Amino acid sequence: MSRTRDQDACPGALQVHQAADGALARVRLPGGMLTAAQLEALAEAAERFGSGTLELTGRGNVQVRGISEPEAVAAAVAAAGLLPSATHERVRNIVASPLSGRAGGLTDVRPWVSRLDNAVQTDPELAGLPGRFWFSLDDGRGDVSSLAADAGLHVGPDGVALLLAGRDTGVRLTPDDCVGALVTVARRFVRVRGNAWRVSELDDPAVLLTDFGLADFAPSAPTGASFPPGRPPVGWIDQSDSHVALGAAVPLGVLTVRQAQFLAAIDAPMVITPWRSLLVCDLDEGVAETALRVLAPLGLVFDESSRWLSVTACVGSPGCAKSRADVRADAAQAVEAGTRNGNVHYVGCERACGRPVVGEVLVATDDGYRPLRP
């Protein structure tokens, strides 16, 4: 299966997308990692040149929309150290277990994030990856493997499994071989992909494993069966070094400039998760208690039973010209009314952007919403 359209319109900080409400820039954050100063810089750019909000994406990235001066935003992103490569900016798509190295997991995959990011940026061939191709690094807890990224690692008791499109390939790697294996897969994908943007669109993904000496590619059960869908880590989280991380769900992934400024004022490392939430890390207990008291009234959610954790939406109107409704407003209304149970994703048209791995998708119609046809 392959797509006929070969134009990669995936936005970046330099190649922006012209949306109905102005230009949209997407800033890649490998591993979702972000400093307080970087968040502050993005918030300032959104306030001066954009819509006044930051959008957290389902891949742990950040978007600024409604941009009036794209060059000014790109300059601000670069000045914050978030644009290390003009040629590879859209292919630095790396998601990692957000709490890795701080709480839980079998190993700390953060050093792999840095090594993989460096390897991708310094490989000229990998500038040819589609902007949608992404890598996942799961530290063994089974959170990000369930996202079915194109090429992934999953730490296990018998070594590190190499995953393709969320499926275990049977290849087992040593920690020293992990990053090289992902680069090998990505290079081969660039060479064989044709018009395919994702590994799942290849007729025969086994072609990506020819460098691993396997006669046959026999994928095991889909990752979804092995790894239940991850949920955002929310609330008070004790780190293994006796510090505290605070996990905050961000309703519909929309962070206001004011929220971002208060978060940045804590002056702690942050992680944007692929569930459109964030972690504020490495806090002393006293600082964490104060931060909770300040951030919760601003609208960030620290209750893991909150309905906000189950409801997501595409941008909808007025940001997207294809939308039949202001789906964010409708989703927010549904949360407030408590009318639906389970995971629900509201979309303005059948394209179903940002659709999560699991849950119901409701698509806007002229007189309400209906389930998306399979």
Please report, as ranges, the residues that interact with ligand SF4 according to CB under 6 A.
314-316, 320, 322-323, 347-349, 351-353
Q: Which one, 78 or 352, has the nearer CB to ligand SF4?
A: 352
Closest approach, Cβ 365 to ligand SF4, in A, equals 12
The Cα diameter of the chain in Å comes to: 58
Closest approach, Cβ 197 to ligand SF4, in A, equals 16
Closest approach, Cβ 369 to ligand SF4, in A, equals 12
Q: Which one, 259 or 317, has the nearer CB to ligand SF4?
A: 317
Closest approach, Cβ 210 to ligand SF4, in A, equals 36
Letter for the amino acid at 306?
Answer: S
Closest approach, Cβ 19 to ligand SF4, in A, equals 9
Q: Which one, 173 or 314, has the nearer CB to ligand SF4?
A: 314
Closest approach, Cβ 68 to ligand SF4, in A, equals 21
For β-strands 244-249 and 235-238, DSSP reports them as antiparallel
Q: Which one, 196 or 347, has the nearer CB to ligand SF4?
A: 347
Closest approach, Cβ 364 to ligand SF4, in A, equals 8
Q: d(Cα 111, Cα 101) in Å, to the nearest integer?
A: 10
Q: Which one, 340 or 351, has the nearer CB to ligand SF4?
A: 351
Token pair, residue 374, equals: 């399979």
Q: Which one, 136 or 323, has the nearer CB to ligand SF4?
A: 323
For β-strands 344-347 and 311-313, DSSP reports them as parallel
Q: d(Cα 248, Cα 228) in Å, to the nearest integer?
A: 21
Q: Which one, 322 or 340, has the nearer CB to ligand SF4?
A: 322
Q: Which one, 192 or 353, has the nearer CB to ligand SF4?
A: 353
Q: Which residue's CB comes closest to ligand SF4?
A: 348
Question: Taking Cα atoms as reference points, which of 169, 162, 180 lies closest to residue 122?
Answer: 180
Contact yes or no for 306/316 (Cβ under 8 A): no
Half-sphere exposure at residue 252, Cβ-oriented, CA atoms within 13 angstroms: 20
Closest approach, Cβ 325 to ligand SF4, in A, equals 8
